[in-house]
């Protein structure tokens, strides 16, 4: 009898998790030209969470973010954001729903100064952070407000790339490798920023090679390999999964 009750309860648990999801991805397929990159990716992100996609280079993590954002031209499956199906939506429409993407290459305009870069994206929803609020998170940017993009360090460019999307009013943030190539002190600041954004109610989907950093900020993890999700676990289960993680990631 207990086993029957457990079997009956499981579907309700899955349905409850899906109902809480801000982003629900099911059987996501994606191609670059003729190259089939994603092979049925399934995951969800719940409101107020920080969720990290882990995996080795080439596992499909960045392609997953770009597919959600509508940047990949050839994709299929289901991507639902706040209950709206967006798999066939253009990237500008997805942005106006409140989804923001911060790419690994940062996309800072070298010919514009910090203020101009910050003010460039349009506001897509009410509630974007003011410049004063942004400077509380990134005081370095206030000091460099009139500096051109070419004059910024890598860490300052990453701060600017994140700050720029916070102005738009988007509450669902996708950050691709935000600590790549940065000094430890800047990585620590990025971690504090993510923690503060979570406190403010932002939902964050993070791609990160630096597992040690990810373990300090994420609530849940999905592991990708060869364009598929192969495992998932909560932060509270990290210790019990370290051997598997070493095998998956080679860390």
Confidence of residue 251 (pLDDT cuts 50, 70, 90): low
Asked if 187 and 158 touch (Cβ cutoff 8 Å), the reply is no
Range of the domain at 181: 22-249
CA atoms within 13 A on the CB side of 251: 20
- 87 in a domain, yes or no? yes
In a domain, 3, yes or no: no
Mean local confidence (pLDDT), 66-75: 95
Instruction: Of 219, 153, 151, give the one whose Cα is nearest residue 186.
Output: 153
pLDDT at 2: 41
55-64 residue pLDDT tens: 999 999 999 9
**Is there a contact between 224 and 64 (Cβ–Cβ < 8 Å)?**
yes
Residue 2 DSSP one-character state: H
Nearest-CA neighbor of 230 among 249, 206, 213?
249
Predicted confidence at residue 31, as pLDDT, reads 97
Q: Each residue of 104-161: pLDDT tens digit?
A: 888 899 889 999 999 998 899 888 999 999 999 999 999 999 999 888 999 999 999 9
Q: For the chain, how many structural domains are there in total?
A: 1
Could you tell me if residue 14 is inside a domain?
no
- What is the distance between the alpha carbons of residues 30 and 67, in angstroms, rounded to a whole number? 7
Tell me the torsion sign for CA atoms 70, 76, 81, 86.
positive
| Structural tokens at position 150 | 């070419």
- Is residue 239's pLDDT more than 70? yes
Residue 158 has a pLDDT of 93
Contact by Cβ (8 Å): 123, 164:
no
Residue 201 has pLDDT above 80, yes or no: yes
Mean pLDDT confidence for 92-104 = 95
**Residue 215, domain member (yes or no):** yes
Handedness of CA 54, 64, 160, 106 (dihedral sign): positive
- Is 9 within the bounds of a domain? no
**CB atoms < 10 A from the CB of 79, how many?**
25
CATH number for the domain that contains residue 57: 3.40.50.300
pLDDT for the residue numbered 10: 36
In a domain, 204, yes or no: yes
Q: At a CB cut-off of 8 Å and minimum separation 6, what does 92 contact?
A: none
What number is the average pLDDT over the span 198-211?
Answer: 94
Q: Please check whether residue 10 lies inside any domain of the structure.
A: no
Confirm whether 85 is domain-assigned: yes
């Amino acid at each position: 009898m207990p086993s029957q009750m457990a079997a009956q309860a499981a579907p309700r648990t899955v349905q409850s998790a899906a109902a809480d999801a801000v982003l629900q991805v099911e059987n996501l397929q994606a191609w670059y030209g003729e190259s089939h990159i994603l092979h049925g990716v399934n995951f969800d992100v719940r409101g107020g969470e920080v969720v990290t996609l882990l995996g080795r280079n080439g596992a499909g993590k960045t392609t997953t973010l770009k597919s959600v954002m509508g940047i990949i031209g050839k994709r299929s499956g289901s991507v639902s954001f706040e209950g709206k199906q967006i798999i066939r939506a253009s990237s500008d429409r997805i942005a106006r729903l409140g989804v923001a993407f911060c790419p690994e290459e940062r996309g800072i305009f070298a010919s514009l100064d910090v203020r101009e870069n910050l003010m460039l994206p349009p506001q897509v929803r009410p509630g974007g952070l003011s410049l004063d609020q942004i400077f509380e998170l990134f005081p370095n940017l206030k000091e460099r407000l009139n500096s051109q993009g070419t004059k910024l360090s890598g860490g300052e460019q990453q701060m600017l790339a994140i700050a720029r999307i916070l102005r738009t009013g988007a509450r669902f943030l996708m950050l691709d490798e935000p600590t790549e190539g940065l000094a430890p002190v800047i990585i620590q600041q990025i971690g504090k920023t993510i923690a503060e954004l979570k406190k403010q109610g932002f939902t964050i989907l993070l791609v990160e090679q630096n597992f040690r950093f990810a373990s300090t900020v994420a609530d849940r993890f999905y592991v990708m390999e060869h364009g598929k999700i192969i495992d998932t676990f909560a932060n509270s289960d990290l210790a019990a999964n370290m051997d598997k993680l070493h095998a998956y990631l080679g860390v």
